[in-house]
Chain A
Amino acid sequence: MNDPLSKLKEWFQGGSLMWALLGLLTLLAYDFVFVDGFFRLEVRDGHLYGTVIDILNQGSKTMLLALGMTLVIATGGVDLSVGSLMAISGALAAVLVTQTELSLALVIPLALTATVLLGAFNGMLVSVAGIQPIVATLILMVGGRGIAMLITGGQIVTFEHTGFVFLGNGHFLGIPFTLTLVLLMLIATSLLMRRTACGLFVEAVGDNETASRFSGISTWTVKLSVYGFSGLCAGLAGLIAASNIKAADSSRVGEMMELDAIFAVVVGGTALTGGRFNLLGSIIGALLIQTLTTTMITQGVPPAIAPVPKAIVIVAVCLLQSEKFRTEVAGWFGRRANT
């Protein structure tokens, strides 16, 4: 059990990320054949540019959300409030940066602390008050945007702060800084989950909460933590979003992104009911969505219609993950073989 390959497998263990990978590769193959210059990369001013880089850059928000969402879903829950939390962190940071003299080194932690605390609030509702996750996070989903708008006074707050702008638009070692952030978060989260017992506890709680509690795991700590972590990821994503447009647009930021994140997680191999999770799978799932969107834009499909293929992919993945469906399809082939 000690050879490197199986160790690698266990490191990224979880549900199968095969479908996500397959989908992504299929899409990329399509792009390779039908889209000119999709894979072209060029170096300008020491930075790497190209469609692929764009995908990685724009997908960074979804990827971050998906990281947080993975752990929440792994405990058998869901976090619908991440879009609104994004709005809040962006709003807070923008307002603090434009209306106070606080340095970025203070503003960013402040904004992130806010979303972590709000995430913990979600966690409290779920673990202590025993409220269903959909309902509990619905509260912040509805109200959080109101809070964000309250912070910005209903206006779109623009800013020019170079440091803040760098977050979403800068480059580090040739690749977009956002990508660096995502990679760091992925590595940090994976280490935290697999090099400590955190991952085990999360999976245990998601798979059988009662048995976990009887074994001595503090289930409410686990749940509180994953929602807080989701808040952190959402906060980070919100900062990037604000930085991207150099403004905090509380009413529109993060809209529908929670759904993309959930989609990425499920496609990536983590079951909606909880248990084994797969962080890398969620990242790939997020890339899949982003690639889908970008591919359609290059093909001239109006972005408003983009959700249609997304819908088909979701249903396809769900069907493939459904035992009943697989048995039924296998039955068709079985019957044909017998005639």
Chain B
Amino acid sequence: MRRFLPLMATFAVLIVLFAAASLMYERFFTARVIANLFSDNAFLGITAIGMTFVILSGGIDLSVGAVLAFTTTFIASLIADHAWHPLAAIPVALLIGTLFGGGMGFLIQRYELPPFLVTLAGMFFARGMAFVVSTESITIEHDFYTTLQDLKIVVGPKAKLKIGALIFLGVLGLAVFLAHWTPFGRNIYAVGGNETSARLMGLPVARTKIMVYALNGFCSALAGVVATLYMPSGNPAVGTGLELDAIAAVVIGGTLLTGGVGYVAGTLGGVLIFGTIQSALIFDGSLNSWWLRIAISVLLLVFILLQRQLSRFTTSPKN
């Protein structure tokens, strides 16, 4: 039961925040606002889910925002400048993201390079390449896109889940399945918990680590796709700092940065907390955007200290 304490804490905070906002702002507590939480934060959410896996395995990935940006300009350029059909452009972009992630994972695993630095380089590289594709924003106009953008599931009065939210939820479901019901997921937890033990147990450590970064590359690229649906354009400057928001969401969601501990569901909580604060700020209108940053950092502090206390609690030997 104690294992779920961080998760419960995350959702408790979410509920408290949401309740507070509902009390302060009229019409906050509506299906529409809740549905929009998922749509507006879809690309953060997808990115954060990918990041969860990387952090669970004991690593970190700073390149996600840049990969997202590259994906958007890449797709936009293919569609607008080279007349590709989106159904052709999107898979290619996803493939590139996955291979890029896998490439970084390979360097990290094979040569024991620090993930921080390799993914930092990846971030620089992808961001630069995004600008190589295009230095300016490219608008996407295509029937297929318009169709996708209009796609929605109505969940309540004036409340609809658009394509971004649907993809987010889909990814969430797959992620939970992957983490808890597949050997891959179990391996990730094992490697993150204690890599040496995992290796001694005969688990495919190398493969797992590389695949985790490839998976994250895929998620970043997918988030890029969702971003293009949302904007709808390709913009090389987008997503700066996204990796930090994603890491913050993962940590607030209860996942330990040392690896091996955490739940994908927690990340969902973290993302929703992020979204709730942001929505509340928009509703208020008078509070400025920087309060979001301050609020998130305070939450980060609280959660980190909480995690620290909990782990001290569980490891004190009183036998």
Contacts and interface: CB of A to CB of B under 8 A. Distances in A.
Given A131-B304, A139-B301, A150 B111 contact: no
A305 interface: yes
B129 interface: yes
A312 interface: yes
A135 B176 CA distance: 25
Contacts of B293: 142-143, 145-146, 149
Contacts of A134: 60, 116, 257
B231 interface: no
A122 to B, nearest CB: 11
Given A134-B116, A266-B117, 6 more contacts: A134-B257, A142-B293, A263-B117, A308-B132, A311-B123, A314-B121
Contact of A324 (B111, B248, B289, B296): B111
Interface string B82-101: 00000000000000000000
A304 to B, nearest CB: 4
B308 A138 contact: no
A314 B257 contact: no
Contact of B300 (A139, A145, A150, A312): A139
B282 interface: no
Interface residues of A, number: 46
Nearest to B107: A315
B248 A138 contact: yes
B114 A324 contact: no
18 contacts: A135-B257, A138-B244, A142-B248, A143-B293, A145-B290, A146-B292, A263-B117, A302-B135, A304-B127, A304-B135, A307-B128, A311-B121, A312-B121, A312-B125, A314-B120, A318-B118, A324-B110, A328-B111
B304 A135 contact: yes
A46 interface: no
A196 interface: no
B247 interface: yes
A147 B290 CA distance: 8
A308 B294 CA distance: 32
Contacts of B266: none
Interface string A202-227: 00000000000000000000000000
Contacts of A145: 290, 293
Nearest to B297: A143
B291 interface: yes
A322 interface: yes
Nearest to B128: A308
B294 A143 contact: yes
A308 B114 contact: no
Interface string A75-96: 0001000000000000000000
B88 to A, nearest CB: 26
Contacts of A135: 251, 257, 300, 304
B116 A272 contact: yes
Contacts of B290: 145-147, 149-150, 154
Contacts of B247: 138
A298 interface: no
A50 interface: no
A247 B265 CA distance: 44
B308 A311 contact: no
Interface of B: 60, 107, 110-114, 116-118, 120-125, 127-129, 131-132, 135, 236, 240, 244, 247-248, 251, 257-258, 288-294, 296-298, 300-301, 304-305, 308
B111 A308 contact: no
- Interface class of chain A by DSSP: helix
B273 to A, nearest CB: 13
Given A135-B251, A138-B247, A308 B125 contact: yes
A314 B122 CA distance: 10
Contacts of B248: 138, 142
Given A142-B293, A150-B294, A311 B117 contact: no
B244 to A, nearest CB: 6
B276 to A, nearest CB: 17
B9 to A, nearest CB: 16
A255 B294 CA distance: 17
A324 B124 contact: no
Given A150-B294, A318-B113, A319-B111, A304 B304 contact: no
Nearest to A130: B308
A315 B121 contact: yes
Contacts of B127: 304, 307
Contacts of B308: 129-131
Nearest to A136: B304
A261 to B, nearest CB: 12
Contacts of B236: 304
Nearest to A318: B113
Contacts of A323: 112
Interface string A239-263: 0000000000000000100010011
A146 B308 CA distance: 25
Interface in A285-317: 302, 304-308, 310-312, 314-315
Contact of B129 (A150, A308, A319): A308
B297 A142 contact: yes
A311 B124 contact: yes
A66 B101 CA distance: 29
A132 interface: yes
A306 B118 CA distance: 17
Given A263-B120, A308-B124, A311-B124, A140 B135 contact: no
A322 B294 contact: no
A34 interface: no
Contact of B124 (A136, A150, A266, A307): A307
